[in-house]
Amino acid sequence: MSTINPQNLGSLGQRMRFMRVQKSWTQEQLAARAGTNQAVIQKIENGKSLRPRKIDTIASVLEVSPAWLMFGDESGSNLTGDAQDVADAWNRLPEPHRSRIRQEILNLVAA
């Protein structure tokens, strides 16, 4: 049994791997349950997939909310329409755009 606190997992890939391992599943087993293939699971876990298309299905199979899987925060499931739109767009942004925009947002809030 893992001693990792799921609240401390920083990325989608880390959270997905944690939940998969908790269920003692291989990447192939998770992929089969989610109706996708092992390469998709591997890319997500390795941080290579910026826009996972099957995230809702994968979350359901892992018995977690898509918000927790994507953002590590259950409150994400209560996002308003505008906030959800921004969150969805955020997931499509590559670096260094994420870092720059994150810093701009933090600067605006601090002002």
pLDDT one-digit tens code per residue, 10-41? 789 999 999 999 999 999 999 999 999 999 99
> Which residues span the domain enclosing 26?
1-78
Give me the residue label for tokens 């409150």: 75
Please check whether residues 66 and 16 belong to one and the same domain: yes
Please check whether residues 38 and 89 belong to one and the same domain: no
Calculate the average pLDDT of the chain: 83
Give me the residue label for tokens 């969805």: 88
Please check whether residues 63 and 97 belong to one and the same domain: no
Domain count, the chain: 2
pLDDT one-digit tens code per residue, 71-80? 887 654 556 6
Q: 43: domain CATH number?
A: 1.10.260.40
Helix axes 12-22, 55-62, angle to 10 degrees: 30
Please check whether residues 58 and 88 belong to one and the same domain: no
Alpha helices, H only, 1-111 = 12-22, 27-34, 38-45, 55-62, 66-71, 81-92, 97-110
Please check whether residues 56 and 109 belong to one and the same domain: no
Cα(75)–Cα(2) distance, integer angstroms: 25
Please check whether residues 50 and 93 belong to one and the same domain: no
pTM (2 d.p.): 0.62
Q: What is the pLDDT of residue 80?
A: 66
